[in-house]
Amino acid sequence: MKYILTPEGRILNKGTDTSPIWDWEYYLKDHLGNVRVVIAPTEEAGYSAVQQETHYYPYGMRMSQLSNSANSTNDWLFSNKQLESNFDLGWYDFEWRNYMPDLIRTNTVDPHAENFYSWSTYSMFGDNPVINIDPTGMDWYDINGKITWHDQEGDLTIDDQTYQSLGKNVLVGTHNRDEDGNEEINSATFSLYLESNKDGASATINGNTVPADIEKYGTLAEGLYNAEYSTYKGDGAILIEGGGDVPTVSGNPNNPDNYNADGSLKPTSGHVMDEVLFHKGNWARESLSTNMFRNGKRVQISEGCQTGGCGPRSLPKYREFIKNAVGFKGKYYLKAKPNKK
């Protein structure tokens, strides 16, 4: 046995299998888990010596002129994954796929490719390795109302109960609508769950999941939707289903697509709305309507979108929340509070 891996480094066998001599190596990592420096204790108590130093280009290639590995054979490097150097392969073992940093792609198809139809099936890290990690292709799940990370790909079965995968990165909206579809201002909750933080939500904010006028505009139905980072009026936002059609709770008379050729309204069960985002709320007052008028009508903050909180000082809170979602590509999961079922 040459070494034993630990969460913080390696225990090296510098002897033989029958007469092992164990020495420690410790990893110093950056915020993405990349091993930057390997250190080992010295004979002088309380001191350590650098055994290996590695600098990376954003997509994982080593900067050879700045890196130094003269005193260590450690090959657990980028994203703390093993570099396969046999036969000069030069790729990293990411469990589900092998990643080639020189080509910025994998050599096999992403097992979740069907969830990201607009991306190459061989892409990695959502094409943003400075923010995202992709260690295994494992997922978040809603287990009896609690959003939980499980080391599993695809749907999860526990005690004969199947739970739908929410993907590796998911914005969870928990609405507080009553039986008539109304929702008290700022009573919904939005939580951002990222693969880079498997302990729980990376950010949470209160907001709203209904439009300013539920009789006039559509209300987004509960469900799991594709979502990605976008912008809205100068601030970050999350675009839902690429801005395409999404279902409503009880119709949407404001959308021309919901009318027949003769001008009659289609059955509300088939109504849709589009251009739906999660975006900033009304920073001026606690309302989804503004004090401004356009063409004689009051300007609405939401005509079907999901919004952050409304009211004074709500905009800085929203900006603090949405900065965690820069580069986000995953899912939007809208559900009810447990007591609202």
Report the 3 state secondary structure along 74-130. CCECHHHCEEECHHHCCEEECCCCEEECCCCEECCCCCCHHHCCCCCCCCCHHHCCC
Contacts of the segment 50-55: beta carbons below 8 A, 24+ positions apart? 51/25
Separation of alpha carbons 110 and 209, rounded Å:
32
What's the pLDDT at 137? 53
Task: Describe the strand order of the beta sheet including 91-93 as a list of residue ranges.
Answer: 82-84, 91-93, 98-100, 105-106
Cβ neighbours of 234 (radius 10 Å): 6
Helix residue spans in 8-57 (DSSP H): none
DSSP conformation class of 40: E
What's the pLDDT at 115? 63
Is pLDDT of 280 > 90? Answer: yes
Identify which of 244, 208, 247, 210 has the alpha carbon closest to the alpha carbon of residue 227. Answer: 244
Identify which of 194, 255, 265 has the alpha carbon closest to the alpha carbon of residue 229. Answer: 194
**248: β partners:** 220
- Tell me the pLDDT tens digit for each residue of 22-79: 999 999 998 888 999 999 998 888 889 999 999 999 999 999 999 998 788 899 999 8
- Is residue 199 within 8 Å of 208, Cβ to Cβ? no
- Tell me the pLDDT tens digit for each residue of 111-161: 767 766 677 888 887 777 876 777 665 677 787 788 888 777 778 887 678
Separation of alpha carbons 273 and 275, rounded Å:
7
For residue 215, name the pLDDT band (cuts at 50, 70, 90): confident
288: left (phi over 0), alpha (psi -120 to 50) or beta: alpha
DSSP conformation class of 62: B
Cβ neighbours of 140 (radius 10 Å): 23
pTM of structure? 0.64
For residue 256, name the pLDDT band (cuts at 50, 70, 90): confident
Averaged pLDDT of the chain? 88
What's the pLDDT at 297? 66
**69: β partners:** none
Q: Which sign does the torsion angle of CA 184, 185, 189, 190 carry? A: positive
Give the residue extent of every domain in the chain.
3-127, 168-340
